[in-house]
């Protein structure tokens, strides 16, 4: 499995060159305060990682990967583990940059704010991974992304509709309450989400034909 994780990181490394300019632009915008760095850095990471699925599809990688020892199990495991590693590493990176920006601008470090913003981003990364991966394993990278957009916008649309008719204050209060426990709650929610998502992806991939 380590070999498959390496393969994904090598792919990201090879793809990184084309992303450097976008990265720099985001960093400049982050310094100016247009974007929050803790938001953008981990999300770029996830985007990079999702691109590995596209390369896998485009190069018929999966039909070969399943012929490797324990291929079917390891492909799924490697994708999840590698993206969690990437999310955490980029999260730490974003934290460092965030502290740097905060310090240069205000000469003090607003750690609480940075951490709570980072936690929010990490959770959204995890939610994206958990939702997207089973869909991508099932339908492939291109179709999977389209389906995910449909699901996200669909949910947002329905949410907005519901909000029109129902009083949302209680739900918002609940989320706010959750926020104060976020240091404990977010890791627990993440583990549960990723766990369920992994089980579903694994089930899909075990029976997939290429």
Partner 1 sequence: MENIIEIKSLKKKYDDKFELGKIDIAIPKGVIVGLIGENGAGKTTLIKSMLNIIKIDSGEIKIFGKDYKKEEKTIKEDIGVVLDNMFFPELLNAKDINNSMKDIYINWDSKLYFSYLKEFSLPDNKPLKSMSKGMRKKLEIATALAHKPKLLILDEPTSGLDPVVRNEVLDIFLKFIEDEEHSIILSTHITSDLEHIADEIIFIDKGKKVLQKSRDEIIDNYGILKCDIDYFSNIDKKDIIAYKKTKYAYEILVNDKEQASKKYHSCVIDKITLEDLMVLVIKGEKVC
Question: CA nearest 131: which of 147, 142, 154, 118?
Answer: 147
Q: Is 56 in the site for partner 1 (CB under 8 A)?
A: yes
In angstroms, the CA 110 to CA 98 distance is 9
Q: Which is nearer to partner 1, 11 or 90 (CB)?
A: 11
Note whether 60 binds partner 1 by CB under 8 A: yes
Start-to-end CA distance of the chain, whole Å, equals 20
Tell me the closest approach of the beta carbon of residue 108 to partner 1, in angstroms: 43
Task: Please give the structure tokens belonging to residue 193.
Answer: 């989400």
Least distance in Å: CB of 56 to partner 1? 7
Number of H helices, E strands in the chain: 8, 0
Measured from the CB of residue 74, what is the shortest distance to partner 1 in angstroms?
Answer: 8
Contacts with partner 1 by CB under 8 A: the residue count is 27
> What is the smallest separation between the CB atom of 175 and partner 1, expressed in angstroms?
40
CB 51 within 8 A of CB 15: yes
State the CB neighbour count (10 A cutoff) for residue 97: 18
Residue 126's alpha-carbon distances to 14, 110, 168, 182, 197, in angstroms, are: 24, 25, 24, 14, 10
**142 sits near partner 1 (criterion: CB under 8 A):** no
Binding flag, residue 68, partner 1 (CB under 8 A): yes
CA–CA separation, 5 vs 145, rounded Å? 22
Tell me which of 40, 43, 66, 94 binds partner 1, using CB under 8 A.
66
Nearer to partner 1, 7 or 37 (CB): 7
Nearest CB to partner 1, comparing residues 39 and 53: 53
Is residue 205 within the footprint of partner 1 (CB under 8 A)? no
Binding site for partner 1 (CB under 8 A): 1-4, 6-7, 10-11, 14-15, 55-56, 58-61, 63-64, 66-71, 207, 209-210
């Amino acid at each position: 499995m380590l070999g498959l994780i390496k393969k994904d990181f090598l792919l990201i490394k090879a793809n990184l060159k084309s992303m450097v300019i976008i990265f720099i632009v985001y960093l400049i915008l982050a310094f100016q305060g247009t974007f929050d760095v803790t938001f953008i850095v981990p999300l770029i990471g996830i985007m990079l990682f999702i691109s590995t699925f596209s390369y896998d599809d485009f190069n018929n990688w999966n039909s070969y990967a399943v012929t490797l020892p324990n291929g079917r199990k390891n492909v799924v495991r490697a994708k999840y583990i590698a993206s969690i590693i990437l999310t955490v590493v980029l999260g730490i990176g974003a934290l460092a940059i965030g502290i740097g920006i905060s310090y240069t601008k205000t000469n003090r470090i607003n750690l609480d704010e940075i951490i709570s913003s980072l936690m929010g981003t990490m959770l959204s990364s995890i939610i994206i991974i958990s939702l997207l991966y089973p869909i991508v394993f099932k339908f492939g990278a291109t179709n999977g992304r389209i389906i995910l957009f449909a699901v996200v916008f669909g949910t947002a649309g329905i949410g907005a509709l519901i909000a029109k008719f129902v009083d949302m204050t209680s739900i918002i209060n609940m989320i706010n309450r959750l926020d104060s426990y976020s240091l404990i709650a977010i890791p627990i929610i993440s583990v549960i989400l990723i766990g369920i998502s992994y089980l579903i992806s694994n089930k899909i991939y075990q029976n997939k034909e290429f």
